[in-house]
Amino acid sequence: MNSPRVAVLMHNLGGGLETVVLNQVRGLTHYPYEIDLVLDRADGLDAAKIPPKVRIIDLKTPISPNFKSALALIPPLIRYLRQEKPIALFSHLIFVNVVTAIARTLARFPTHLTLIEHNLLFQKPGRSNEPSSKLLPLLMRGLYPKADRVVAVSKDMASTLEQWLHFPSGKIDVIYNPALDRDFAAKAKAPLEHPWFAPSAPPVFLGVGRLEKAKDFPTLLRAFARLRQQREAKLILLGEGKERPALETSIEQLGLESEVSLPGFTPNPYAYMSRARACVLSSRWEGLPTVLIEALACGCQVVATDCPYGPREILDSGKYGRLVPVEDVEALAEAMQLAIDRPLDTELLERRALDFGIDRAVTQYLDAIESDLLPKSGFKASLTSAFRQAQSTTQS
């Protein structure tokens, strides 16, 4: 008998979400399932990142990150569900989730559907007047109750979703992103040739993320400039994006050309995190910022804005790192100074990061599938067999 098929659907957009989804896929490969990674388009995806056991399904329907564009996914999704008949489908991101719920209904195939929310696009600043910001909540209220599971990646997001969707408290599951893969430690120890990390060099602060307005790197630059008035330090911003020219102008205006470096995107930021004195997140909003989890795992001090959603939860209200108000230059500079002068215990930080490993998240997802599908006819035999095999495999 063939193994049950489990599918993971995502919009191929790169960045932190791609890392999280690929970690989920890697975790699923340790169980006796056939795994499909379903993409709107497969071009541009680094095949080396995909485990050999995973089958890539290219829907050949490139979309933009908005609901109107995502509607084009409905016909190929219906065909996929009818032809491949996965027992379970995980969908990521709000606009993809909405069209996936529509496609599952129209396909008339009872695949177990889990909708995973990483951020609430219609709540972001500047989007409140967009048509989709008014339409999406209405569609979510009508379609999300039809899903078997709705998952938020943080408790605060779950609470907000329950209010928006008029769900009873506790109806939405909270499963943290699988941020850390099994190769993480080796990546953190990888060689890194950079003069700023010499033993006697000044402390280095690190910012990681796309160079876009949501990350609010201008506030970080101003805070760093204030800090530099008191002590010598360096700042590295890892990432690429459309805000690069504006950031380069700000660096020049602040007279920080020799103290700030923008090396661009790197596939291994962990080598920087393990050597930096502190990682700083200056965002206006997030979902569950993976960069904070990765920094903790590296034993790196963390400073973060108390933005929605995730930093306060990851750092446990400041137990594992310093929280400051959004867009507060003075508070951010002071917290960066404290990260150097009064660092938290690195072992404490590393232990906290273990709460966000792949194995824990994947186990929670599979437990949800098992509890929902085992009582249903047509799935019981195959799932029971699969879980017994999985248990014996993981225990051996």
How many whole angstroms from its chain centre is CA 325? 22
pLDDT in tens, 279-317: 999 999 998 899 999 999 999 999 999 999 999 999 999
95 contacts: CB under 8 Å, gap ≥ 6: 11, 65, 66, 67, 69, 70, 121, 132, 136
Confidence (pLDDT) at 174: 95
Residues 313 and 381 in one domain: no
Length of the chain: 396
- Give the CA angle between residues 72, 78, 79 to the nearest 5°: 105
Confidence (pLDDT) at 394: 47
Residues 150 and 212 in one domain: no
Q: Please tell me the distance from the alpha carbon of residue 63 to that of residue 71, in angstroms, as a whole number.
A: 9
Confidence (pLDDT) at 131: 52
Q: Please tell me the distance from the alpha carbon of residue 190 to that of residue 185, in angstroms, as a whole number.
A: 9
Confidence (pLDDT) at 335: 99
Residues 189 and 168 in one domain: no
Residues 168 and 49 in one domain: yes
The domain containing residue 133 runs over which residues?
A: 5-178+357-395
Residue 143 has pLDDT above 80, yes or no: yes
The two tokens of residue 231 are 């002590």
Residues 137 and 203 in one domain: no
Question: In the chain, where does DSSP find H-type helix?
Answer: 15-28, 67-70, 74-84, 94-107, 131-143, 155-165, 184-188, 217-228, 244-253, 270-273, 290-297, 311-314, 329-341, 346-353, 358-373, 380-395
Total count of domains within the chain: 2
Kindly report the CATH number assigned to the domain that includes residue 305: 3.40.50.2000
Residues 210 and 152 in one domain: no
Residues 350 and 361 in one domain: no
The two tokens of residue 61 are 């329907």
Confidence (pLDDT) at 280: 99
- How large is the average pLDDT for residues 320-326? 99
Residues 248 and 312 in one domain: yes
The CA-atom distances, in angstroms, between 290 and each of 247, 252, 286, 295 are: 23, 30, 10, 9
The CA-atom distances, in angstroms, between 228 and each of 18, 222, 244, 256, 336 are: 35, 10, 22, 9, 11
DSSP 3-state of 183: coil
pLDDT in tens, 203-219: 999 999 999 999 999 99
Q: Which residue has the higher pLDDT, 324 or 357?
A: 324
- How large is the average pLDDT for residues 351-369? 92
Residues 53 and 80 in one domain: yes
Residue 189 has pLDDT above 70, yes or no: yes
pLDDT in tens, 16-60: 788 889 999 999 999 999 999 999 998 877 788 899 999 999 999
Confidence (pLDDT) at 395: 46
Confidence (pLDDT) at 388: 47
Report the chain's mean pLDDT, rounded to a whole number. Answer: 89
Residues 365 and 343 in one domain: no
- How large is the average pLDDT for residues 253-278? 97
Q: Which residue has the higher pLDDT, 373 or 15?
A: 373
Pick from 106-110, 246-250, 276-280: least confident: 106-110
Q: Give one word for 371, left, alpha or beta, with left for phi > 0 and alpha for psi -120 to 50.
A: alpha
φ, ψ at 149 (rounded to 5°): -140, 140
Please state at what angle helix 131-143 crosses helix 155-165, rounded to 10 degrees. 90
Residues 89 and 127 in one domain: yes
Residues 129 and 270 in one domain: no
Nearest-CA neighbor of 181 among 311, 388, 18?
18
Confidence (pLDDT) at 391: 46
**HEC profile of 109-171:** CCCEEEEEECCCHHHCCCCCCCHHHHHHHHHHHHHHHHCCEEEECCHHHHHHHHHHHCCCCCC
pLDDT in tens, 73-127: 999 999 999 999 999 999 998 889 999 999 999 999 999 999 999 887 555 555 4
The CA-atom distances, in angstroms, between 391 and each of 27, 363, 367, 394 are: 14, 11, 12, 5
228 contacts: CB under 8 Å, gap ≥ 6: 256, 259
The residue type of 327 is: E
The two tokens of residue 185 are 């430690």
- How large is the average pLDDT for residues 152-177? 90
